[in-house]
Amino acid sequence: MEKDHLITMANQIGSFFKSYPDQEYAANEIASHMKRFWAPKMRNMIKDIVATSDADSLDDIVRIAIKKYL
């Protein structure tokens, strides 16, 4: 899977959850969604993206979700 597509998918998930009033809960839900529906390879790729400068392409809440809960 292409890195840009993975970032887009992660940001789409984040867009759904970022309207939640409790942002900590929202971040946890983003990571839970990825754990349930993303293949391990996809989760590893998004973790690698967060560890690089490409993380700037991710919404803040998505970046927090991956760093903290994934």
Q: What is the pLDDT of residues 29-41, one digit of tens each?
A: 999 999 999 999 9
In the Cβ-directed half-sphere of 57, how many Cα atoms lie within 13 Å? 17
pLDDT tens digits, 36-59? 999 999 999 999 999 987 788 999
For residues 1 and 45, is the Cβ–Cβ distance under 8 A? yes
**Is 0.85 surpassed by the pTM of this model?**
yes
